[in-house]
Structures are given as C-alpha cells and as structure tokens.
C-alpha cells in the first residue's frame, strides 16, 4: 500500500505507480489502491508495459511506459 514514486516541485506533484501489466484484476486493484487513498488533486498515473490499455480509473491515468518515456 505504497506509492512507487512521487515527483514534486514547489507547486506541483505527480504520483507514479509502475507495474509490468494491468491486465489482471488483482494487479489493477493492488496498483490503484494506494493512489485512490490520496485525497489531493495532483496527477496520479500507473505506468505499465501494456499497449492499448490507455484508460482512466476514477481520474488515475493508465499509460504505456514506453509511450510515456518517449513523450507520446
């Protein structure tokens, strides 16, 4: 129940979870749970190796890791 990475600037913050896959319901719930417990409105994302899984779960973005690293 911890967030993998938190990047912050004085007026900005982003929470990042990293997982190999978001296909399994169990993994999805495990990765979403820590981010769902955070009550602020800063950006929250989950990075995975899945392609075509770009989605949002209650405002938490799920993004392909390679696309995110390349800035797509």
pLDDT at position 69 = 92
Q: Is the pTM value of this prediction over 0.75?
A: yes
- Domain borders along the chain are 5-70
Residue 55 backbone phi and psi in degrees, to 5: -155, 175
Asked if residue 72 has pLDDT above 80, the reply is no
Q: Which residue has the tokens 């004085």?
A: 10
Cβ(21)–Cβ(47) below 8 Å: no
What are the residues whose beta carbons fall under 8 Å from the beta carbon of 38, sequence distance 6 or more? Answer: 3, 15, 44
For the stretch 15-61, pLDDT in tens is 999 999 888 889 889 999 999 999 999 999 999 998 666 678 888 99
Decide: residue 44, CB within 10 A, 0-12 exposed, 13-18 middle, 19+ buried.
buried
């Amino acid at each position: 129940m911890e967030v993998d990475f938190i990047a912050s600037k004085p007026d900005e913050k982003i929470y990042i979870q990293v997982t190999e896959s978001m296909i399994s319901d169990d993994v999805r719930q495990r990765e979403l749970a820590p981010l769902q417990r955070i009550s602020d409105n800063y950006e929250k994302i989950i990075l995975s190796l899945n392609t075509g899984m770009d989605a949002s779960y209650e405002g938490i973005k799920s993004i392909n890791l390679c696309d995110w690293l390349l800035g797509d």
